[in-house]
Chain A
Amino acid sequence: MGIVSKVHPVRSHSNAAQGGINAALNPDDTWESHAFDTVKGSDYLGDQDAIEVMAREAPEEILHMEHLGVTFHRNEEGKLGTRAFGGASAARTYYVADITGQAIMHVLYEQLMKYSEQITRYEEWFSSSLAIDENGECCGVVTRNVADGSMELFQAKSVILATGGSGQIWKPTTNALICTGDGIAMAYRVGAKLMDMEMIQYHPTTLAGKGFLITEGARGEGALLLNKNGERFMEKYAPNKMELASRDVVSRAEQTEINEGRGFPDGTVALDITVVPKKRIHEALREIVLVGRDFAGVDITREPIHIKPGNHYTMGGVKTDVEGRTDIPGLYAAGEVACVSVHGGNRLGANSLLDTLIFGKHSGRDAAARALRTDWSKPSGKVLEDEQAMVDDINGREKGSGRRVSEIKLELGQTMDAKVAVFRDEAGITEALETVRRLKEEAKTAYIDDHGQVFNQDLMGAIELGYMLDCAECSCIGALERKESRGAQYRTDYPERNDEEWLKHINLEKTEDGPEISYSEVTITQWQPEARTY
């Protein structure tokens, strides 16, 4: 068993999950309630069988993490304590200050070290493509050792993608620089279906310009959203849940305030955390104190901080079933790279860590069982040689042969943030798609400066650009295709949800002429779609 990671595993982006992880663990809470909140949060686009699995298994998973050593917050009795989170009908978010993702990921890395005899860690190995055998099954990954540039084919009976989302397509974004959609694009290129790629979450509280995340936990602790007139504007948009409505609702409310001139001149509204007791801020929102201080020059315990909606999460991804299986036998996906779909049109806060753990576990189990019952097979083509040729081609481009990779990335990010964001329409999305297709052409001749083997980040950046452009094209096509407003997809030219025609997933499959569109049913078990208010 091996784990391949393009950065050291503790640098991975699960670090950024601040607020916590949901589970109906309290005796007076129920998994059905958690599941319903998730279904409603998804704007009924989530598959209810998968959501049921996630909500039902959540309590056991939290306890498992606790037993492994996660330092979850305790209540007065020394038991696990919770905080409130958006879109939830009970306080069921378990947390470690506001470093929950970091705390869980570091504990999982501890376990990797503990079991190092069974699991080999390939730290700083970059994956460039998946290997497929003559039966169309996944049989390995081609990788590049970042330290010395050597390329290798890792043969495998099962491959699980846990490569995260594609947030770097947008600029700004809360996502780390490594979130370039690698797994989504690699799976797409070997024929796996992608699903609901238009569903891109804009988080309600990010720092203007830099895109840094301010945890939803701040609002969970009681922080208020105010426009420039000091009005608590959420009263108009979500009179019951106010600041703790689901994220798509809050982001749209903020953007409306800003667009209609009630925001601040820097295109923001204010998040007022000063209403939370100071001691509680230092205990529960420590990271945000630092973010405010270091990146905005604001003492959040004393003054409101300016925020705006910012790109945050890829709800869509590689289509999988509840065991993490993609359309390609032997290929699995779990976490943000995957679309099971538990998040549908909008992910609830504190459901992402849960998604990674639950479906990571399911994928692992099924992948292990498959590995035990199948024989080794070989790639049908010369996949390693092909990848080496691809690398040599990029390396061989001379300065001035085309545009700089960094220029193309910037144009892509700005285009997507302008046209495929909180509010969308046909004209804007079409424009974005045309730009993406032009950039795809330009990427073929884009040059890099570094032609060495050791730690050639320039080369990896060029490969990542290819991943990003594939993902961006799919997000544009999905957004153009879905002619309704649901969850994070708000079309100003189709402002209503249309269950009649669009209560279905949009699947995209790679062909010679670009992504081919097909549809799949949304699984409904016990919750029929109804109007969604908060």
Chain B
Amino acid sequence: MADYTIKVRRYQPESGDPAYWEEFNVELDPSLSVLDGLLQAKDRDDGSLAVRCSCRAAICGSCGMKINGKSGLGCQTQIGEAQEAADKKASAVGGESEGNVIVIEPMGNQPVIKDLVTDMESTHWTKFRRVTPWLLPHGEPPEREYIVEPESMVDITQSMACIQCGACVSSCLSMEADPLFIGPAALAKAYRFVGDPRDAETLERLTDLAKDPHGIYDCTHCFSCVDACPKGVAPMDQIMRLRRKAGEHGIEDPNSGHAHEMAFVNIIEKKGTLDESLLLQESFAPGVLGKLMPSKRAIKEMIGSLPTAIRGIKTGKMRSLPKLIPGVHHKLPGGAQDDVKAIYKRAEESNIEFNLYIKGEEGDQEAAVEERLEPAAAPGAEEASNG
């Protein structure tokens, strides 16, 4: 048992008063959750403290909130850890003028209804319905089950693991800038169908989400949602998969991000190392050495990006001007060029998307990669893993 002070952002809509802060003193085991702390305050001190909650075990997704500024689930955050985070924060700003209290606020990017209860319907659920969140197979279903690759089901189970708690929506910086952004949770849901081999409208879904100015290219890749997600769904990863799939389907990327990425891949495959003199041209007129004619839009964008390139040369971020002349790029010694090509071949052959959901911890993922690349494990390794 330990004593904690939780400071809650409260709003009682019927009082006519603006939102205010209130502190509650609670006493519980450090291994219990922030939600347990809130429920104790509710039970003992003030039953009008509103907080959605149900399962207490991080599966129902009701208790999304901000704890010390970080979006997550109240039931999944141990109160002892929340106190440590509060202490750290207080010492970082140099002092305890406010006291090291655990600060609890309603989720962001959603209107507040009462205390910690937010209006998810007008925000999260409306965006969610935007992505046509149901399976769209073609034709009659088979007599038995659909036969699909076992990995494909595991793959989309990562986004299926989403409990719609809204923590990612709460933390999303893109949505803060553009409230119309479809957002991490809904787009992760979209991947659940795009990645599902039983769904027959992959191209339509991808085109729709790519064309929407608030769609998949509206994400700024900030990782906030990955940090916030309590279930390891990693919404941003799902958005990046949608982008990659869109690229594979030849859907135009308004940011030219896919073409730029492919430029790196193709140049290194051809040259062994990155020949930056080709990067601009390759990004906008792919086909190494410019064998394809750039589109009008590409020419405009290429010219538009010249100042960035010049700035890059001036600051030394790009290599010196003489080296940017095509043909000056140095060649790899000996057979190294062939080695690079062999790496490409191998990568293509084992084009497996390693899925965090099944691979668990980081160390395991590395081990799994090794296992796949080295089927004949070193002697002793097996014993160790069985131990």
A interface vs B, CB < 8 Å?
7-8, 10-13, 15-16, 63, 66-69, 71-81, 96-97, 99, 102-103, 106-107, 110-111, 113-114, 123, 147, 176-178, 210, 212-213, 277-279, 281-283, 286-287, 289-291, 294-295, 297, 404-406, 448-450, 452-458, 461
Contacts and interface: CB of A to CB of B under 8 A. Distances in A.
Interface string B227-260: 0000110000000000000000000000000000
29 contacts: A7-B52, A10-B61, A11-B55, A16-B55, A66-B146, A71-B160, A79-B144, A79-B147, A80-B145, A102-B59, A102-B160, A103-B157, A107-B135, A113-B133, A178-B54, A210-B32, A278-B364, A278-B385, A279-B364, A281-B360, A282-B359, A282-B360, A286-B161, A295-B57, A297-B31, A404-B47, A406-B42, A406-B47, A454-B13
Nearest to B120: A8
B154 interface: yes
A81 B149 CA distance: 12
Contacts of B142: 67
Interface of B: 12-14, 31-32, 42-44, 46-48, 50-62, 76, 78, 113-114, 117, 120-121, 129, 133-135, 137, 141-142, 144-150, 153-154, 156-157, 160-161, 163-164, 196, 198, 231-232, 357-361, 364, 368, 385
A237 B359 CA distance: 36
Given A176-B60, A282-B360, A454-B113, A71 B54 contact: no
B61 A11 contact: yes
B54 A448 contact: no
B385 A291 contact: no
Contacts of A281: 360
A404 B47 CA distance: 9
A177 to B, nearest CB: 5
Nearest to B356: A282
A289 B150 contact: no
B262 to A, nearest CB: 30
Nearest to A64: B141
A533 B97 CA distance: 66
A70 to B, nearest CB: 9
A187 to B, nearest CB: 22
A71 B145 contact: no
A15 B59 contact: yes
A450 B47 contact: yes
A347 B145 CA distance: 27
A452 B59 contact: no
A454 B113 CA distance: 8
Contacts of A283: 154, 358
A104 to B, nearest CB: 10
B360 A286 contact: yes
A389 B324 CA distance: 83
A328 to B, nearest CB: 28
A21 B146 CA distance: 18
A281 B368 CA distance: 13
A73 B358 CA distance: 12
